[in-house]
Amino acid sequence: MGGNARLLNAPMTSRIKILDTISDPGDPAKPNDDSFGHNQACAFVIDGATGLGDRQYMDKAGSDAAWIARHFARGFQDQITRDTGVSEVARSVSLAARTEFLRRNENVPRYAWPLTAFAMLRQTRGGFHFVGLGDSCLFLLQEDGSAAMHMAIPGAYEYEQSQARKHIARTGGITKEGGALGNLETLALLRQHRERQNTPESGVWTLGLVPEAADHLVSEPLDIKGQAHAIVCSDGFSDLAVLYAAYDSASLVRTARERGLRPMLDELRRFEREVDPEGLRYPRFKQSDDTTALLVELTPAT
């Protein structure tokens, strides 16, 4: 009996539990450039950036963006533990991707280099953390009802919406003139912005073929009180809150807990394809974006 009592009173280690996942291509006829993964130490989403080159360079996954997203997803899932450093893993995986890509494709313009944003819920022996680069994010709902959004680039959504608004003003809508990549002025601006990423001059860092980006990971401790829940997602899913304003951080997570992620994806697609298919009310570059989200339960150590 005494042994059982000691077992019952033993401290509980912190843990993450995956409750639901969803990943859906914005265009069913094209590859899903998002990827995700999880293990006992982390849960993450990786959002491959739409390619801006004149052709596809890596033929393994349907697009260069899907290739780089899956490359990092495999590396993170296989190598991250409670004790490993995310930056060290990211640097190693990035170096391997750079070697493979540039060995096969010399003299590729920098704007055509594949890259990704990512958001990760990380569990170490000291607690939970948000880790990320780019515009993927994490929504956290605490047991007391307080909520917060974590992302690596504050203001990223506002900047993209402002640039998309200018594109739509030039063309008359998302699907006009062949979309963002079909409009020469828009494509030139996107390439210019992409060319400058992962340089000290731009200060915008993403996962891809530049190992130095690993020195710029954003990491924020999450002070978890009681049992909490989080959504780790690509910007496609976060649009429900930051673009369409259908939810705030708390109600986004609460609704996912109550209804699951699938009905929320359906709601998102209705905004994109029925409510505002041309982006006149909600400016964006794509009618429908690749969308990935993980619903996670966090239990702190006791």
- CB of 198 closer than 8 Å to CB of 117: no
The whole-number pLDDT of residue 10 equals 44
Question: What pTM was computed for the model?
Answer: 0.93
Domain boundaries, the chain: 14-299
Digit-by-digit pLDDT tens for the chain (302 residues) are 444 444 445 455 678 999 999 999 999 999 999 999 999 999 999 999 999 999 999 987 899 999 999 999 999 999 999 999 999 999 999 999 999 999 989 899 999 999 999 999 999 988 999 999 999 999 999 999 999 999 999 889 999 999 999 999 999 999 999 899 999 999 999 999 999 999 999 999 999 999 999 999 999 999 998 999 999 999 999 999 999 999 999 999 999 999 999 999 999 999 999 999 999 999 999 999 999 999 999 999 87
The whole-number pLDDT of residue 59 equals 84
What topology does CATH give the domain 14-299? Phosphatase 2c; domain 1 (3.60.40)
DSSP 216-272: G-EEEEE---SSEEEEEE-HHHHHHHHTS-S--HHHHHHHHHHH-HHHHHHHHHHII
Q: 17: which strand partners? A: 297
φ, ψ of residue 49 to 5 degrees: the values are -75, 140
- CB of 118 closer than 8 Å to CB of 72: yes
The secondary element (H helix, E strand) that includes residue 100 is helix 86-104
Q: Can you tell me whether residue 31 is helix, strand or coil?
A: coil
* Rounded Cα–Cα distance for residues 20 and 262 (Å): 9
The Cα diameter of the chain in Å comes to 76
Q: Can you tell me whether residue 250 is helix, strand or coil?
A: helix
Give the rounded distance of the alpha carbon of 301 from its chain centre.
27
